[in-house]
Homo-oligomer: A and B are copies of this chain.
Amino acid sequence: MDGQLILHEDARSGNCYKIRLTAAHLDVPLTRHNYDIMRGETRTPAFLGTVNANGRIPVLQVGDRFLPESNAACFWLADGSHLIPHDRFARADMLHWMFWEQYNHEPNVATLRFWRVFVGEDRLTEAQQVQLPAKRTAGEAALRLMDEHLAGRDWFAGGAFSLADICLYAYTHVAEDGGFDLGAYPHVGRWLAAVAALPGHIAMEPEAALAA
Protein backbone atom coordinates (compact mmCIF):
# COMPACT_ATOMS: atom_id res chain seq x y z
CA MET A 1 0.00 0.00 0.00
CA ASP A 2 1.08 3.58 -0.69
CA GLY A 3 1.25 5.15 2.75
CA GLN A 4 -1.74 5.80 4.98
CA LEU A 5 -5.23 5.19 3.64
CA ILE A 6 -7.88 7.65 4.79
CA LEU A 7 -11.55 7.14 3.98
CA HIS A 8 -13.43 10.43 3.79
CA GLU A 9 -16.99 9.33 4.45
CA ASP A 10 -20.41 9.67 5.99
CA ALA A 11 -20.78 6.39 7.87
CA ARG A 12 -24.51 6.17 7.03
CA SER A 13 -23.80 6.05 3.27
CA GLY A 14 -23.88 2.70 1.50
CA ASN A 15 -21.33 4.00 -0.99
CA CYS A 16 -18.88 4.52 1.90
CA TYR A 17 -19.70 1.12 3.38
CA LYS A 18 -18.66 -0.58 0.10
CA ILE A 19 -15.12 0.65 0.61
CA ARG A 20 -14.99 -0.46 4.26
CA LEU A 21 -16.38 -3.86 3.30
CA THR A 22 -13.79 -4.27 0.54
CA ALA A 23 -10.99 -3.27 2.92
CA ALA A 24 -12.32 -5.70 5.56
CA HIS A 25 -12.21 -8.61 3.10
CA LEU A 26 -8.64 -7.67 2.21
CA ASP A 27 -7.63 -7.07 5.85
CA VAL A 28 -6.44 -3.54 4.95
CA PRO A 29 -6.69 -0.90 7.69
CA LEU A 30 -8.45 2.40 6.89
CA THR A 31 -8.41 5.59 8.90
CA ARG A 32 -11.92 7.02 8.89
CA HIS A 33 -12.68 10.74 8.64
CA ASN A 34 -16.40 11.43 9.04
CA TYR A 35 -18.45 14.23 7.45
CA ASP A 36 -22.15 14.97 7.98
CA ILE A 37 -23.53 15.43 4.48
CA MET A 38 -26.81 16.76 5.91
CA ARG A 39 -24.86 19.69 7.40
CA GLY A 40 -23.05 20.51 4.15
CA GLU A 41 -19.67 19.36 5.43
CA THR A 42 -18.67 18.10 1.96
CA ARG A 43 -19.48 21.44 0.30
CA THR A 44 -17.04 23.63 2.21
CA PRO A 45 -14.27 25.42 0.27
CA ALA A 46 -11.68 23.28 2.06
CA PHE A 47 -13.38 20.02 1.06
CA LEU A 48 -14.00 21.16 -2.53
CA GLY A 49 -10.46 22.47 -2.90
CA THR A 50 -8.63 19.49 -1.46
CA VAL A 51 -10.69 16.31 -1.14
CA ASN A 52 -13.20 16.35 -4.02
CA ALA A 53 -14.21 19.20 -6.34
CA ASN A 54 -17.44 17.24 -6.91
CA GLY A 55 -18.47 17.80 -3.27
CA ARG A 56 -19.25 14.17 -2.59
CA ILE A 57 -18.14 11.35 -0.35
CA PRO A 58 -16.73 8.75 -0.28
CA VAL A 59 -13.20 9.69 -1.28
CA LEU A 60 -10.30 7.34 -0.62
CA GLN A 61 -7.11 9.21 0.18
CA VAL A 62 -3.96 7.27 -0.78
CA GLY A 63 -1.04 9.16 0.71
CA ASP A 64 -1.51 12.65 -0.74
CA ARG A 65 -3.73 11.60 -3.64
CA PHE A 66 -7.53 11.56 -3.60
CA LEU A 67 -9.75 9.00 -5.33
CA PRO A 68 -13.49 9.80 -5.56
CA GLU A 69 -16.24 7.42 -6.70
CA SER A 70 -16.93 4.46 -4.44
CA ASN A 71 -16.59 1.75 -7.06
CA ALA A 72 -13.26 3.13 -8.29
CA ALA A 73 -11.95 3.19 -4.71
CA CYS A 74 -13.02 -0.45 -4.27
CA PHE A 75 -11.17 -1.31 -7.51
CA TRP A 76 -7.99 0.37 -6.28
CA LEU A 77 -8.12 -1.51 -2.99
CA ALA A 78 -8.83 -4.87 -4.63
CA ASP A 79 -6.57 -4.54 -7.68
CA GLY A 80 -4.57 -7.77 -7.95
CA SER A 81 -6.61 -9.57 -5.27
CA HIS A 82 -9.13 -12.45 -5.34
CA LEU A 83 -11.97 -9.87 -5.33
CA ILE A 84 -11.32 -9.10 -9.03
CA PRO A 85 -11.55 -12.03 -11.48
CA HIS A 86 -8.40 -12.94 -13.38
CA ASP A 87 -10.36 -13.95 -16.47
CA ARG A 88 -10.71 -11.05 -18.90
CA PHE A 89 -14.42 -11.51 -19.66
CA ALA A 90 -15.32 -12.08 -15.99
CA ARG A 91 -13.38 -8.95 -15.00
CA ALA A 92 -15.36 -6.84 -17.49
CA ASP A 93 -18.59 -8.57 -16.43
CA MET A 94 -17.84 -7.57 -12.81
CA LEU A 95 -17.46 -3.97 -14.04
CA HIS A 96 -20.73 -4.32 -15.97
CA TRP A 97 -22.56 -4.96 -12.69
CA MET A 98 -20.69 -2.13 -10.95
CA PHE A 99 -21.62 0.38 -13.67
CA TRP A 100 -25.18 -0.96 -13.66
CA GLU A 101 -25.29 -0.45 -9.88
CA GLN A 102 -24.40 3.22 -10.21
CA TYR A 103 -26.79 3.85 -13.12
CA ASN A 104 -29.85 1.65 -12.48
CA HIS A 105 -29.75 0.70 -8.81
CA GLU A 106 -28.22 3.45 -6.67
CA PRO A 107 -30.21 6.41 -8.12
CA ASN A 108 -33.42 4.54 -7.24
CA VAL A 109 -32.85 2.12 -4.35
CA ALA A 110 -30.37 4.35 -2.48
CA THR A 111 -32.07 7.65 -3.31
CA LEU A 112 -35.44 6.50 -1.94
CA ARG A 113 -33.69 5.39 1.27
CA PHE A 114 -31.97 8.78 1.48
CA TRP A 115 -35.18 10.70 0.87
CA ARG A 116 -37.17 8.65 3.42
CA VAL A 117 -34.63 8.17 6.22
CA PHE A 118 -32.42 11.26 5.99
CA VAL A 119 -34.47 14.01 4.30
CA GLY A 120 -37.99 12.94 5.27
CA GLU A 121 -40.79 12.46 2.74
CA ASP A 122 -42.61 15.59 3.91
CA ARG A 123 -39.52 17.70 3.23
CA LEU A 124 -38.95 16.67 -0.39
CA THR A 125 -39.06 19.34 -3.09
CA GLU A 126 -41.79 19.25 -5.71
CA ALA A 127 -39.29 17.97 -8.29
CA GLN A 128 -38.39 15.10 -5.92
CA GLN A 129 -42.04 14.31 -5.13
CA VAL A 130 -42.84 14.02 -8.83
CA GLN A 131 -40.01 11.50 -9.30
CA LEU A 132 -41.13 9.15 -6.50
CA PRO A 133 -43.30 6.80 -8.64
CA ALA A 134 -40.67 6.44 -11.38
CA LYS A 135 -37.90 5.81 -8.84
CA ARG A 136 -40.06 3.22 -7.07
CA THR A 137 -40.74 1.42 -10.38
CA ALA A 138 -37.10 1.59 -11.47
CA GLY A 139 -35.88 0.37 -8.06
CA GLU A 140 -38.24 -2.60 -8.20
CA ALA A 141 -37.07 -3.36 -11.74
CA ALA A 142 -33.47 -3.32 -10.54
CA LEU A 143 -34.19 -5.70 -7.68
CA ARG A 144 -36.16 -7.98 -10.02
CA LEU A 145 -33.28 -8.05 -12.51
CA MET A 146 -30.90 -9.03 -9.69
CA ASP A 147 -33.32 -11.74 -8.55
CA GLU A 148 -33.59 -13.23 -12.04
CA HIS A 149 -29.82 -13.16 -12.48
CA LEU A 150 -29.25 -14.87 -9.13
CA ALA A 151 -31.89 -17.56 -9.80
CA GLY A 152 -29.22 -19.65 -11.49
CA ARG A 153 -26.09 -18.33 -9.80
CA ASP A 154 -24.50 -17.83 -6.39
CA TRP A 155 -22.58 -14.64 -7.30
CA PHE A 156 -22.91 -11.83 -9.82
CA ALA A 157 -19.84 -12.30 -12.02
CA GLY A 158 -17.24 -14.91 -12.83
CA GLY A 159 -18.68 -17.65 -10.60
CA ALA A 160 -17.12 -16.25 -7.42
CA PHE A 161 -17.60 -13.51 -4.84
CA SER A 162 -16.20 -10.26 -6.26
CA LEU A 163 -16.46 -6.48 -6.05
CA ALA A 164 -19.73 -6.77 -8.00
CA ASP A 165 -21.29 -8.50 -4.99
CA ILE A 166 -19.81 -6.01 -2.51
CA CYS A 167 -20.99 -2.98 -4.49
CA LEU A 168 -24.50 -4.38 -4.97
CA TYR A 169 -24.79 -5.60 -1.37
CA ALA A 170 -24.27 -2.13 0.10
CA TYR A 171 -27.63 -0.58 -0.78
CA THR A 172 -29.58 -3.79 -1.45
CA HIS A 173 -29.31 -5.04 2.12
CA VAL A 174 -30.89 -1.81 3.41
CA ALA A 175 -33.42 -1.46 0.57
CA GLU A 176 -36.29 -1.80 3.05
CA ASP A 177 -35.27 1.60 4.46
CA GLY A 178 -36.42 2.92 1.07
CA GLY A 179 -39.73 1.08 1.27
CA PHE A 180 -38.79 -1.88 -0.93
CA ASP A 181 -40.05 -5.34 0.07
CA LEU A 182 -37.05 -7.68 -0.07
CA GLY A 183 -39.37 -10.62 0.60
CA ALA A 184 -40.43 -10.36 -3.03
CA TYR A 185 -36.94 -11.30 -4.21
CA PRO A 186 -36.04 -14.72 -2.71
CA HIS A 187 -32.82 -15.25 -4.70
CA VAL A 188 -31.63 -11.82 -3.60
CA GLY A 189 -32.46 -12.83 -0.02
CA ARG A 190 -30.37 -16.02 -0.29
CA TRP A 191 -27.47 -14.05 -1.81
CA LEU A 192 -27.65 -11.34 0.89
CA ALA A 193 -27.39 -14.08 3.55
CA ALA A 194 -24.47 -15.70 1.73
CA VAL A 195 -22.57 -12.39 1.54
CA ALA A 196 -23.18 -11.70 5.25
CA ALA A 197 -21.94 -15.19 6.18
CA LEU A 198 -18.56 -14.82 4.47
CA PRO A 199 -15.41 -14.71 6.64
CA GLY A 200 -14.23 -11.10 6.82
CA HIS A 201 -17.72 -9.62 6.52
CA ILE A 202 -18.50 -6.51 8.56
CA ALA A 203 -21.86 -4.84 9.18
CA MET A 204 -22.59 -1.35 7.86
CA GLU A 205 -23.11 0.42 11.16
CA PRO A 206 -24.86 -0.20 14.45
CA GLU A 207 -28.57 0.61 14.16
CA ALA A 208 -28.04 3.59 16.46
CA ALA A 209 -26.04 5.41 13.81
CA LEU A 210 -29.08 5.49 11.56
CA ALA A 211 -31.20 7.32 14.13
CA ALA A 212 -29.49 10.59 13.27
Contact = CB atoms under 8 A, between A and B. Distances in A.
A192 to B, nearest CB: 20
B54 A68 contact: no
A115 to B, nearest CB: 14
Q: How many copies does the complex hold?
A: 2
A62 interface: yes
Contact of A102 (B88, B102, B131, B134): B102
Interface stretch (A90-98, A168-176, A182-190, A194-202): A90-98
A112 interface: no
Interface stretch (A27-35, A38-46, A70-78): A70-78
A75 B92 contact: yes
**Interface majority SS (helix, strand, loop, mixed), chain A:** helix
B72 A93 contact: yes
21 contacts: A2-B89, A53-B148, A54-B104, A67-B89, A68-B96, A69-B100, A71-B95, A71-B99, A72-B95, A72-B96, A76-B88, A76-B92, A79-B92, A98-B99, A102-B103, A126-B130, A127-B130, A127-B131, A127-B133, A130-B131, A131-B131
Interface residues of A, number: 40
Nearest to A144: B53
Contacts of A126: 130
B92 A67 contact: yes
